[in-house]
Structure 1
Amino acid sequence: MAVYGIDLGTTYSCIAAIDEVGRPTVLRNIEGTDTTPSVVYFESSDNVVVGQAAKDTAVLEPDNVVSLIKRDMGRDVTRPIHGFEYTPEELSAFILLKLATDARTVTGEDARDVVVTVPAYFGAAERDATRKAGRIAGLNVIDIISEPIAAAITYGVLNPEQDRTILVYDLGGGTFDTTVIALRGGHIEVVCTDGDHELGGADWDARTVEYLAERFREEHPDAGDPLDDKQTEQQMRRDAEDAKKALTTRTQHTVRVMHDGRVAAVELTREKFEELTRDLLDRTIEITGRTLATAAEKGVDEYDDLVLVGGSTKMPAVAARLEAELDLPPRLQDPDLAVAKGAALYAFEETFRRLIQQGAQQQAEEMAGRAGLSAEQQRQIAGRQIKTVASRAFGIVVVDRETETEHVAHLVHANEELPAARTEDFFTVHNDQTAADVRVMEQAGSVESEEPADNNEIATGVVRVPAGKQAGWPIEVTFSLDTSGLLEVTAVEKETGDRLELKVDVGGMSEEEVERSRAALSRVRVS
């Protein structure tokens, strides 16, 4: 059976599979490129274009084009287009469907069984939304895995005989993660992770756009602001991205800003670009330092390799700064494609293991035979373990009986090994209380905090309490977080057995809405 790995990126996405000699290979889209811009253009309500053509159209029809949708995953927001409200899950589903359709065109096989990657710092809501996007697209999402783990799988396959401790610095188009990973005997163990899913190459582009607009206003003070015109702004964003890419190999680049019948030729040097964006790079260094400190607390303080992943790591300032700060020579690990390749390897290995566990030996052997795997390679795959950690802390809101102030009691903590399960008793606050609210919270900031304002409410429910009970009546709460980062919460009142079960279902889409969206998308032409 064919399985695929998908890197669903903020700015670019790609899909990979295992070829006939067991190598992960990125499948080119029908336009002939390895990566597809994560941009969706609504030509009409029933005709959707995804990719480079959509990106090109953004200049002409900015109101009908959506980009950077990954930053909205897990949020209860919609984008109004052609009289319809589209959720982030639905918009991401269009991108996934484009990748799967192009893969089918290339291979001649349905690309249905997939593993999709997410930033390591994505929480339960974002991971759940990503899984739903896959289902809306008609895909069977085998698993959701973190991008650094996928990159580490690719790295481990390329260096199979070496036990290494690596620091993965992953700076993509819209997200940033840094993760410490130990590779031991073919097994992969995440030591700790940290990041910011609203920090990436798009922010470097935004700084450049601001600078270009400022220079235009200086040269043409009597003209309008180019940022007030959506078409001009979209063109400037494209020019800014092109300038960023040009400055990876050149020391200067000229951008022509055209607006209101005027033109300003802006000379942008690499030095100026790095000055404009220095604080953004500083933020990645700060997060990396925090990750190293957490790893040191866990007994890891020596590293064999610093692995750079994500297209934005091609910027020369990134490698130079990291080498100066960490005294480790950075290695670019196939930055644009490593994550998709690792996801394909993981999809293949996970499917192979499941077939073995289910007793489907013949299917497993056929699968391995198609990939040209030796008996020893099959044995290694069957035995490979991947251990990961929670990206954030999770808990519930509790009330102090004396002061009646609220705080968050965390049952699962950031960088705790997964799967994690913890049970704890909590107690009613008032006499004759008939119900207990269970408000599930997820760490929102960069560090764990008891303050409710520093956490996001991601699920809520109620457990009934028997009549006539005094304050302090116990309610048993269990948190269970699996290796995909998906959370289940159970609350039980022991006397009556009244039970609340919450599968964290965030982002505004119920199971019924997912099915309705899937049916609606099937009637839309996506190209």
Structure 2
Amino acid sequence: MAVYGIDLGTTYSCIASIDEVGRPTVLRNLEGTDTTPSVVYFESGDNVVVGAAAKDTAVLEPDNVVSLIKRDMGRDLTRPVHGFEYTPEELSAFILLKLATDARTTTGEDARDVVVTVPAYFGAAERDATRKAGRIAGLNVIDIISEPIAAAITYGVLNPEQDRTILVYDLGGGTFDTTVIALKGGHIEVVCTDGDHELGGADWDERLVEYLAERFRAEHPDAGDPLDDKQTEQQLRRDAEEAKKALTSRTQHTVRVMHEGRVAAVEVSREKFEEITKDLLDRTVEITGRTLATASEKGVSDYDDLVLVGGSTKMPAVAARLETELGLPPKLQDPDLAVAKGAALYAFEETFRRLLLQGAEERAEEMASRAGLSAEQQRQIANRQIKTVASRAFGIVVLDRANNLEQVAHLVHANDELPAARTEDFFTVNDDQTAADVRVMEQAGAAESAEVTDNTEIATGVIKVPPGKKAGWPIEVTFALDASGLLHVTAVEKETGERLELTVDVGGMSEEDVERSRAALSRVQVS
């Protein structure tokens, strides 16, 4: 029974599985590389190209190429291409389908059962959107897990005999997370997490693009702005990414900026690059400081390791700055591939455990045998526990009768241990009220706030109130946030038993929309 782990990244994605000796292995795509650019090119309405070829085409046909899709997950928006409007879930599904199809070609086995990773700071809306993207791609999403947990699983497997407290600093192409994790007796416990899902390597690229364009304009003031031309802009983005990578091992790199028949050879030093991006690195350090402060409040103040995950942590300034700030020597833990490998390990372990719970010992034994696991390794897997925390606060909108203003009453708070469940009574405001709105809100900013504008509405519903009731009639509301960070909300009117169950449908995608998108995607050629 083959299962897979997928790191669905903002700029690059990859897929991994467990080999015949029990090791997590990243499967190369049909282009022969471990990672696939998270870029989608619509050659036509029914022919889609994903990966390196799509990225190359962005220079020639920028209007037909979509990238950085992950930053849109959980948002009610679409991207127009060839006269069609595509949701973030649908666009992500194309990437997932490319990974799964290439894996099937490589292994000869159907890559259907998967665990998909998300940034630790993703909330319920983004996680739900990711799960739906998997379903649209025709995959069975076993679970959604946070990227730092996946990295910690990889780290724990590589260091099985040691109990450690680690700080995971995860700077990817488009998102940033920092998470404190305790490894104890083979178990994994998330202490706290924080992050920014709109901060990543793409922002370093953007600064370099702006700098290159500025230097071109200074040298050719009579020429147009290269950023006003979509093709030139796309070429600059490619050049900026290549320059960033070059400057990880070199101190100088020259970029030729060409626009309107003019050329400017711009020499970029590592020092200059670090200067123009210093505030971005400062933001990651600030968030890391918040995380350490939260961990300290929970009684954790000593750390054994600082583990760097995500391709952007290869920039020399990252490790140097963190060692200066924290006094810990950073460890680059297979930064590009650790998350996918950890997801594959988790997918294997979770499937193995579920088979045992279902009484399917023979299938579990066959699965373990194929992976070459000893009886002791099987016992460890069966007993391993993973404890995580909520990334955001969740609540409902209530009316403060003292000032007649709406505010958010939070039932689940950021860094509450998961699964979390809380039930609380809320009360009607008016006499003879016939219904009550239940508006589910998720913390939007860095800190929990009762202000409605500091939260995002992620679900809404209406529950009936029996006639003739005075103001103050109770409605029982239960929030249940599961271990994957997916939210379930129930409201109950106790006299009649009237019950409202809310699911978090984001981006306007209902279950019916998901099925329609899945059927439509099955008719599209994806390569």
State the AA in 1 paired with 2:467: A
Paired position in structure 1 for 2:437:
437
How many angstroms apart in 1 are the aligned matches of 2:402 and 2:291? 38
Match of 1:97 in 2: 97
Aligned to 1:192: 192
- Bigger drift between 513-522 and 502-511 goes to 502-511
5+ long unaligned stretches in structure 1: none
- Counterpart of 2:314 in structure 1 is 314
Amino acid at match of 2:337: L
- Aligned equivalent of 2:394: 394
Displacement of 1:470 in angstroms is: 1.0
Counterparts of 1:457 and 1:416 in 2: how far apart (Å)? 20
Aligned to 2:283: 283
What residue number does 2:30 align with?
30
Q: What does residue 144 of structure 1 align with? A: 144
Q: What CA distance in whole angstroms lies between the structure 2 residues aligned with 1:498 and 1:378? A: 46
Q: In the TM superposition, what is the alpha-carbon distance from 1:434 to its structure 2 partner?
A: 1.1
**Partner residue in 2 for 1:293:** 293
Structure 2 match to 1:70: 70
1:402 is displaced (CA, Å) by 2.5
Give the whole-Å Cα distance in 2 for the aligned partners of 1:492 and 1:111: 41
Q: Provide the C-alpha distance between the structure 1 equivalents of 2:74 and 2:421, rounded to a whole number of angstroms.
A: 23
Where in structure 2 are the equivalents of 1:226-265 lying within 5 Å? Answer: 226-265=226-265
- Equivalent-residue separation in structure 2 for 1:32 and 1:501 (angstroms): 47
The offset of 1:14, in angstroms, is 0.2
CA distance in 2, matches of 1:117, 1:74: 15
AA matched with 1:228: D
Which residue does 2:465 correspond to in 1? 465
> Which amino acid in 2 is paired with 1:121?
Y
Contiguous gaps of at least 5 residues in structure 2: none
Distance 2:294 2:238 in 1: 38
CA distance in 2, matches of 1:119, 1:449: 22
1:269 match: 269
Amino acid in the other structure paired with 2:34:
D
After superposing on structure 2, the runs of 4+ consecutive aligned residues of structure 1 that deviate more than 4 Å are none
Matches of 1:97 and 1:463, distance apart in 2: 39
Q: What value does the CA root-mean-square deviation take over the aligned residues?
A: 0.5
| Distance in 2 separating the partners of 1:402 and 1:447 | 25
- Measure how far apart 1:508 and its partner are: 1.4
Spell out, residue by residue over 1:458-486, the C-alpha distance to the aligned partner (whole angstroms, 9 max, x if none).
01111111111111111100000001111
Alignment of 1:353-372 (within 5 A): 353-372=353-372
**One-letter amino acid of the structure 2 residue matched with residue 54 of structure 1:** A
- Once the two structures are TM-superposed, the CA of residue 507 in structure 1 deviates from its matched residue by 2.0
SS of corresponding position for 1:224:
coil
Deviations 1:341-365 (A, max 9, x none): 0000000000000000000000000
Secondary structure (helix, strand or coil) at the match of 1:430 reads coil
Q: Secondary structure at the match of 1:346?
A: helix
Mapped to 1, the partners of 2:434 and 2:403 lie a distance apart of 21
Which residue in 1 is equivalent to 2:160? 160
Q: How many residues align?
A: 527
Q: Tell whether 2:340 aligns with 1:340.
A: yes
| CA distance in structure 1 between the aligned counterparts of 2:284 and 2:402, rounded to whole angstroms | 42
TM-score (norm 1): 1.00
- Provide the rounded CA distance (Å) in 2 between the counterparts of 1:465 and 1:361: 50
The equivalent of 1:130 in structure 2 is 130
**1:215-246 CA deviation, whole Å, 9 max, x = no partner?**
00000000000000000000000000000000
Separation (CA, whole Å) in 1 of partners of 2:310 and 2:125: 23
Q: Distance in 2 between matches of 1:380 and 1:509?
A: 40
Task: Give aligned-pair identity as a percent.
Answer: 89
In structure 2, the partner of 1:505 is 505
Q: What is the match of residue 496 of structure 1? A: 496
TM-score (norm 2): 1.00
CA-to-aligned-CA distance 1:308-354 (integer Å, 9 cap, x gap): 00000000000000000000000000000000000000000000000
User: In structure 2, how many angstroms separate the alpha carbons of the residues matched to 1:81 and 1:200?
Assistant: 26
Q: Which residue of 2 aligns with 1:49?
A: 49
Residue 70 of structure 2 aligns to a residue whose secondary structure is helix
Letter in 1 for 2:453: A
Give SS of 2:421's match.
strand
Q: CA deviation at 1:49?
A: 0.3
CA distance, structure 1, for counterparts of residue 272 and residue 266 of structure 2:
12
Quote the residue 1:175 is aligned against: 175
* Alignment-mate amino acid for residue 500 of structure 2: L
Residue type of the alignment partner of 1:485: G
